[in-house]
Amino acid sequence: MHQTFSQHQNFEWQEGYGAFSVSISHLDKTIAYIKNQKEHHKTRTFQEEYLSFLKKNNIAYDERYIWG
């Protein structure tokens, strides 16, 4: 990619990812949240919010593997 698209010399893929589905009944709320995400993360870091989400939804995780 770096050779083909010189304007993206600093591009890097992240080490991991998370994928979650959204119920159609929550779509409007999800869109509103994403639009306000930058402001929201001024008071709470992504890491804090992500761990809270996992705990709230009883998703098992090992923190050694979350942040890379």
Query: Could you state, in order of their start, the residue ranges of all structural domains in the chain?
Result: 22-68
- Segment 7-27, tens digit of pLDDT: 888 877 777 777 789 999 999
Nearest to 18 by CA among 66, 58, 63, 52: 66
Query: How far apart are the C-alpha atoms of 4 and 67, rounded to whole Å?
Result: 30
Supply the pTM of this predicted model: 0.51
In this predicted structure, the answer to whether residue 66 has a pLDDT above a threshold of 80 is yes
pLDDT above 90: residue 2: no
CB neighbour class for 23 (10 Å; exposed up to 12, middle 13-18, buried from 19): exposed
